[in-house]
Amino acid sequence: MTWVLDDTIAALATHPGAASLAVLRVSGSDALRVADAVFEGAAPLSGAPSHTLHHGWLVWPRGASERQHSTGTRLDEVVAAVFRAPRSYTREDVVELSCHGGPLSTERVLAALLAAGARPARPGEFTLRAFLNGRIDLAQAEAVADLIHASTDRASALALSQLAGSLSERLQAIAERMADAAAEVEARVDFAEDVGGVEVPAHVRSAIAELSAELDEWLAGAPYARAVREGARVPIVGRPNVGKSSLFNALVGESRAIVAPLPGTTRDRVSESLELHGIRVALSDTAGLREASDAIEAQGVARAEEALEAGAAAIWVLDGSAPLASEDARIARRLAGRRAVIVLNKSDLARAFSEEEVRSLGSEAAAFVRASARSGEGVAEVRQALAKCLGVNGHAEVEASAVGNPRHAEALARARAGLERAATAASAGAPGEIVALELRESLFAIGEVTGSAVGEDLLERIFSRFCIGK
């Protein structure tokens, strides 16, 4: 898609539906003329200074080609806020009209703005214009959407810090060091006789190693930052009658799932959200994984399998007082390679097997917790183990410049890989052109995060996920 930025756009900037107020935003070179065509106040908005408020009426524009109302018909009482370029969200002329909330009022105001010459804004187009006009970089633009969708205080804090530029500033510092290293290597290639050879000097090799180690450390916190940003789905799985529903109720702190001694009581997923160290966890109690005895149970088992497949991690519950069964071996195979917490439930009863026997089924990488869902013993430990499984570190904090966006993490991983190839080539005495090429590839990957190296297709993918009006 080719983005046209020399026209004027309009959209509802607040949530649709009944509300006390709604805000409609107009941005572009013709924003003040469009607003004046529909605004009836003490004076035209085109003569108003920036960052001022004006009370008046929203009227149907004169000369509109498709008249839904008579010229000059009052549609609503409004307050107009004027923001002149470049001191606006988009760095264009912007007018924001605050009217009464509700579908009818906002539809009429928007229809009037479109009749006056604006066009409907596409998803994320206001923020796209802010990026293309240099007000914010691409990482900051994406933080706008993250802030809107944040579901925990920590997710909001992460988005706010990124919007303020903490991630961008750190990336800029890294990019400058990479560019300096690449420039020195390229200079040695171009002026080998003057600098005494094309070998990559020790201080440049050291700088490359330091940059690689810094990205390594940075990316190590990415799983937790991503979980903070996106939340995590975690199903509780296990064979029937091992205490999954009891543990689910204990973890969420209320009786949401039916608990009964009859195997197969849970036929469908029951979900509830809880917060763990800033991560919004969508916990779900699922049907017991076994060969179903009827069609209804088969649907429940199928949904449990789907939940396991889609989950960021899983809690596998075993009845610690009963011998391991063939279903347990099957579940262990399903969990192979996945992040999981294994809960040996009914710890108040005699143990019927050891952790080593469970590990022999293929669960050597999982965390073990002994618990009694009935008494509450070990439930706090289950929470801690799950938090660690989701990437929480020892102090459960997220740096202001943490990498929570998977697109950013993927690009920085490519940058790190390029640095590692550059380091290997430099150590092997490879031609400086190869080292410089790898450094430039790493620099390009970082540019994909900030937007200094980005194509139209990527912008389309990013901003199409935004809501209209932002």
Domain containing residue 102: CATH number: 3.30.1360.120
Residue (of 196, 251, 227, 185) closest to 312 by Cα position: 227
Residue (of 236, 237, 242) closest to 320 by Cα position: 242
Domain edge (last residue) among 106, 136, 166: 136
Q: Are residues 180 and 62 in the same domain?
A: no
Say if 55 falls within a structural domain: yes
Mean pLDDT, range 435-447, rounded to an integer: 94
Q: Are residues 34 and 124 in the same domain?
A: yes
Domain edge (last residue) among 113, 136, 159: 136
pLDDT tens track for 337-353: 888 899 999 888 888 88
Q: Are residues 349 and 205 in the same domain?
A: no
Query: Residue 394: is its pLDDT beyond 90?
Result: no
Q: Are residues 247 and 339 in the same domain?
A: yes
Maximum average pLDDT range among 278-282, 401-405, 455-459? 278-282
Residue type, 140: Q
Say if 460 falls within a structural domain: no
Report d(CA 428, CA 204) in Å as an integer: 14
**Parallel/antiparallel/unpaired status of strands 119-120 and 9-12:** parallel
Q: Are residues 187 and 314 in the same domain?
A: no
pLDDT tens track for 280-316: 999 988 876 655 555 555 566 667 677 777 788 889 8
Q: Are residues 99 and 244 in the same domain?
A: no
Provide the pLDDT for residue 253.
Answer: 80
Say if 21 falls within a structural domain: yes
Sheet of 21-27, strands arranged across: 39-41, 52-59, 74-83, 94-100, 21-27, 9-12, 119-120
Query: Residue 395: is its pLDDT beyond 50?
Result: no
- CA of 220: how far to CAs of 214, 339, 404, 417, in Å? 10, 16, 11, 14
Report d(CA 77, CA 105) in Å as an integer: 10
The residues with which 9 forms a beta bridge, in sequence order, are 27, 119
pTM assigned to the model: 0.81
Q: Are residues 334 and 413 in the same domain?
A: no
Say if 462 falls within a structural domain: no
Provide the pLDDT for residue 447.
Answer: 94
Q: Are residues 15 and 33 in the same domain?
A: yes
Say if 396 falls within a structural domain: no
Q: Are residues 126 and 82 in the same domain?
A: yes
- CA of 56: how far to CAs of 39, 45, 48, 350, 352, in Å? 7, 11, 14, 77, 78
Question: Do residues 89 and 111 make contact, with C-beta atoms less than 8 angstroms apart?
Answer: no
Task: Quote the domain boundaries for residue 152.
Answer: 144-221+402-451
Question: Do residues 316 and 335 make contact, with C-beta atoms less than 8 angstroms apart?
Answer: yes
Q: Are residues 196 and 149 in the same domain?
A: yes
Report d(CA 408, CA 139) in Å as an integer: 8
pLDDT band, residue 126 (cuts 50/70/90): very high
Domain edge (last residue) among 361, 389, 417: 389
Q: Are residues 384 and 303 in the same domain?
A: yes
Q: Tell me if residue 3 falls in helix, strand or coil.
A: coil
Say if 394 falls within a structural domain: no
Say how far residue 236 (Cα) sits from the centre of its chain. Answer: 24
Look up the CATH number of the domain holding residue 287.
3.40.50.300
Say if 457 falls within a structural domain: no
Say if 464 falls within a structural domain: no
- What is the CB neighbour count within 10 angstroms for residue 324? 17
Mean pLDDT, range 71-78, rounded to an integer: 87
Mean pLDDT, range 438-455, rounded to an integer: 91
Look up the CATH number of the domain holding residue 182.
1.20.120.430
Number of domains in the chain: 3
Q: Are residues 236 and 385 in the same domain?
A: yes
Element housing 285 (H / E): strand 279-285
pLDDT band, residue 175 (cuts 50/70/90): very high
Backbone angles phi, psi at 374, to 5 degrees: -70, -45
Provide the pLDDT for residue 320.
Answer: 85
Residue (of 286, 321, 330) closest to 304 by Cα position: 286
Residue (of 277, 283, 269) closest to 312 by Cα position: 283
Q: Which two tokens stand for residue 179?
A: 């560019």
